[in-house]
Amino acid sequence: MPGAQDHVYVSGCANVREEPYKSARVVACLANGTTVDVDSAPVYSDRSIWWHLAGKGWMAHDFLVAPPGSP
C-alpha cells in the first residue's frame, strides 16, 4: 500500500531490483529488519507481486512484512 512502511524479512539480505522482475539488475541488497517506504501500488510480474520502495527500486512481496503492531 503506498505510503506504508514495511520491514524487510530475510535470513541474509534481499535484492532490490531496477525493474519489477527477477532478471532485472540488482541495485541494492537490504539487510533483515530494514525499514522501507512503499511508494506505489503493487505490480504483478514474473509470477510475483512487486512493490516499489521509495528511493531504492523494486522488491518482491515475499520479502516484506508489516512492522510489529501494524493493523
pLDDT band, residue 71 (cuts 50/70/90): low
CA 20 – CA 50 distance, rounded (Å):
6
Q: What is the DSSP letter of 66?
A: P
- Mean pLDDT of all residues in the chain? 87
The domain locations on the chain are 5-65
Residue 25 has pLDDT above 70, yes or no: yes
- In tens, the pLDDT along 6-24 reads 777 777 889 999 999 999 9
pLDDT at position 69 is 65
- Three-state secondary structure call for residue 19: coil
CA 65 – CA 6 distance, rounded (Å):
6
CATH superfamily of this structure's domain 5-65: SH3 Domains (2.30.30.40)
pTM (two decimals): 0.83
